[in-house]
């Protein structure tokens, strides 16, 4: 088990996420769906901001990576070629008494499954846990009206295969030269046996994956390059540097075809500790070679200057949008005492560019022209970024409500605003208030929100 020097904030975070509309349990009124979550009004903005940062860094800011949005349902042979039909399995044990299933390596199991001395971690019965069986993690469904083996299709367990099968389509349509990459963001589904820890491990999730196609021989150099790039990207989200580290896959962890693999890990605190949020893999030519064999179609690159054809190697970066959203939330969550106040505050110290709401607009009181001026400011800023207008209750309360959802700036319209045309900007983290001309607000805020 990993140990962490950071406290476990998960329970508090789950409750904040529900109360303030970040994340709800799926189908909650029916008792919930196992490890599936819905993003509420604030959560959808936060996750979208995170995905936009990835897309910008990986696609928009580079001329050597192209974007793609491949379908979730693919030809079933894809999953034979990729190795998922035979190899995407976890050993699983089942209790014959309570029917609960566990991963065979579940630390809560005492004794050896399949023997009389084993004890079920759920119902506590002895000798009821059977020997381990392999369980495929892919969700199956049927395509078309007939439910037979010929019409079985899978919900993709990763987005990468959509990239491999489109390698030549993208390369030829964009006339990219190797080295170049293809990136996509999309849903993936895994029938995990032991999901949990909120949105850390779920059965439906989003991945942001990029496959970089390189000339064999240059792969280790590109692997090192992408390792460094990806760590830097996580740091750029505001994740504390001491909470991030690399984990190198050991021989046992490494897939048989993989030439090298590192995970970027984040320290989630408490007993969860350091866990993978992204994988950077040197996959050699495994994937393209498999798809060539199974489809019978060539997936080679023609290197014109050298007049030769070859199957490129692939360096993959694969990061979970939900798991990284959780890392961002855990990292941002703070409970603080405030000088001169009895009540402390809960604050999400989110990077301004990630925060779902960028500014709260508050008239100090509901009279003397303040609401009218605050409304004018709100309407002026609304086309630029998400804002929240709030005139109800004490001003301190209103600030606290915005702190709790990570809003970086509070704009207050007071008596001086009416006479002098100025407003105050309150900074979420320093709690400092600064007076600026109302007509300068757009420029001042836009500069600070760029972070
Ligand atoms: P783990 O060992 O945690 O199951 P993995 O090694 O199977 O992860 P990959 O297949 O490399 O994960 O997937 C890449 C990324 O996708 C992971 O780093 C993680 O961020 C995300 N991911 C994978 N499985 C899940 C899941 N069940 N729920 C949420 N995110 C996931």
Best mutation site among 189, 201, 281 for ligand 1 pocket (most ligand atoms within 8 Å of CB): 201
Q: What is the pLDDT along the chain (451 residues), one digit of tens a residue?
A: 567 889 999 999 999 999 999 999 999 999 988 789 999 999 999 999 999 999 999 999 999 999 999 999 999 999 999 999 999 998 999 999 999 888 888 889 999 999 999 999 999 999 999 999 898 999 999 999 888 888 999 999 999 999 999 999 999 999 999 999 999 999 999 999 878 899 999 999 999 999 999 999 999 999 999 999 999 999 999 999 999 999 999 988 898 889 999 999 999 999 999 999 999 999 999 999 999 999 999 999 999 999 999 999 999 999 999 999 999 999 999 999 988 777 889 999 999 999 999 999 999 999 999 999 999 999 999 999 999 999 999 999 999 999 999 999 999 999 999 999 999 999 999 999 999 999 999 999 999 998 7
For the chain, domain boundaries: 10-74+141-330, 89-136, 346-449
Cα 149 to middle of ligand 1, angstroms: 28
User: Which two structure tokens, joined as six digits, stand for 363?
Assistant: 């008239």
272, exposed or middle or buried, with CB in 10 Å at 0-12, 13-18, 19+? Answer: buried
Cα 26 to middle of ligand 1, angstroms: 20
The rounded distance, in Å, linking the Cα atoms of 50 and 78 is: 30
Q: Is the CB of 207 under 6 A from ligand 1?
A: yes
Cα 179 to middle of ligand 1, angstroms: 26
The rounded distance, in Å, linking the Cα atoms of 401 and 405 is: 7
Q: Is the CB of 414 under 6 A from ligand 1?
A: no
Q: How many CA atoms lie within 13 A of 362 on its CB side?
A: 23
Residue 2: per-residue pLDDT: 60
Q: Is the CB of 90 under 6 A from ligand 1?
A: no
Q: Which atom of ligand 1 approaches the CA of 192 most closely?
A: 27
From residue 335, alpha-carbon distances to 148, 341, 349, 426, 432 in Å are 55, 14, 10, 18, 18
Cα torsion 41, 42, 43, 48: sign? positive
Cα 383 to middle of ligand 1, angstroms: 36
Please state the CATH superfamily assignment of the domain spanning residues 346-449 in this structure: Anticodon-binding domain (3.40.50.800)
Q: Is the CB of 188 under 6 A from ligand 1?
A: no
Map tokens 């819905």 to a residue: 38
Q: Which atom of ligand 1 approaches the CA of 320 most closely?
A: 20
Cα 249 to middle of ligand 1, angstroms: 14
From residue 386, alpha-carbon distances to 20, 90, 234, 355 in Å are 16, 43, 24, 9
Q: Is the CB of 205 under 6 A from ligand 1?
A: yes
Q: Which atom of ligand 1 approaches the CA of 278 most closely?
A: 18
H/E element, 246: strand 244-248
My answer on whether omega of the bond before 437 falls inside 30° of 0, hence cis, is no
Task: Specify the CATH architecture of the domain 10-74+141-330.
Answer: 2-Layer Sandwich (3.30)
Q: What is the CA radius of gyration of the chain?
A: 26
Q: Which atom of ligand 1 approaches the CA of 281 most closely?
A: 11
Q: Is the CB of 276 under 6 A from ligand 1?
A: yes
Q: Is the CB of 403 under 6 A from ligand 1?
A: no
Cα 124 to middle of ligand 1, angstroms: 30
Q: Is the CB of 402 under 6 A from ligand 1?
A: no
């Amino acid at each position: 088990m990993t140990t962490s020097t950071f406290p476990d904030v998960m329970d508090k975070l789950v409750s904040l996420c529900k109360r303030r509309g970040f994340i709800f349990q799926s189908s909650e009124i029916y008792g919930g769906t196992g490890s599936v979550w819905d993003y509420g009004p604030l959560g959808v903005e936060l996750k979208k901001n995170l995905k936009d940062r990835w897309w910008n860094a990986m696609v928009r800011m580079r001329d050597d990576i192209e974007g793609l949005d491949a379908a979730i349902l693919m030809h079933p042979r894809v999953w034979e070629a990729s190795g998922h039909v035979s190899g995407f399995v976890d050993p699983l044990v089942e209790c014959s008494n309570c029917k609960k299933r566990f991963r065979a390596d579940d630390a809560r199991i005492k004794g050896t499954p399949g023997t009389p001395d084993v004890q079920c971690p759920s119902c506590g019965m002895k000798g009821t846990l059977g020997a381990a069986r392999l369980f495929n993690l892919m969700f199956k469904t049927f395509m078309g009206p007939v439910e037979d083996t010929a019409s079985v299709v899978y919900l993709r367990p990763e987005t990468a295969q959509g990239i491999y099968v489109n390698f030549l389509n993208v390369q030829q349509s964009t006339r990219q030269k190797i080295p170049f990459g293809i990136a996509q963001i999309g849903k993936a589904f895994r029938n995990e046996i032991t999901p949990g820890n909120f949105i850390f491990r779920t059965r439906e999730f989003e991945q942001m994956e990029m496959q970089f196609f390189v000339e064999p021989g240059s792969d280790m150099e590109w692997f090192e390059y992408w390792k460094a790039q990806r760590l830097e990207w996580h740091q750029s989200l505001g994740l504390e540097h001491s909470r991030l580290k690399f984990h190198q896959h050991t021989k046992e962890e490494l897939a048989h075809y993989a030439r090298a693999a590192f995970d970027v890990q984040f320290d989630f605190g408490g007993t969860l500790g350091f866990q993978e949020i992204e994988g950077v893999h040197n996959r050699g030519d495994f994937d393209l070679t498999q798809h060539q064999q199974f489809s019978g179609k060539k997936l080679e690159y023609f290197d014109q200057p050298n007049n030769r054809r070859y199957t490129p190697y692939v360096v993959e970066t694969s990061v979970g949008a939900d798991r990284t959203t959780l890392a961002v939330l855990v990292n941002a969550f703070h409970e603080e005492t405030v000088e001169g106040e009895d009540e402390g505050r809960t604050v999400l110290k989110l990077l301004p560019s990630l925060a779902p709401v960028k500014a709260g607009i508050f008239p100090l009181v509901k009279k003397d022209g303040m609401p009218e001026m605050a409304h004018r400011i709100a309407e002026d800023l609304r086309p630029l970024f998400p804002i929240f207008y709030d005139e109800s209750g004490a001003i301190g309360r209103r600030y606290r409500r915005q702190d709790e959802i990570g809003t970086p700036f509070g704009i207050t319209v007071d008596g001086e605003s009416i006479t002098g045309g100025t407003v105050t900007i309150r900074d979420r983290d320093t709690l400092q208030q600064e007076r600026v001309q109302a007509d300068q607000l757009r420029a001042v805020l836009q500069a600070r929100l760029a972070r």
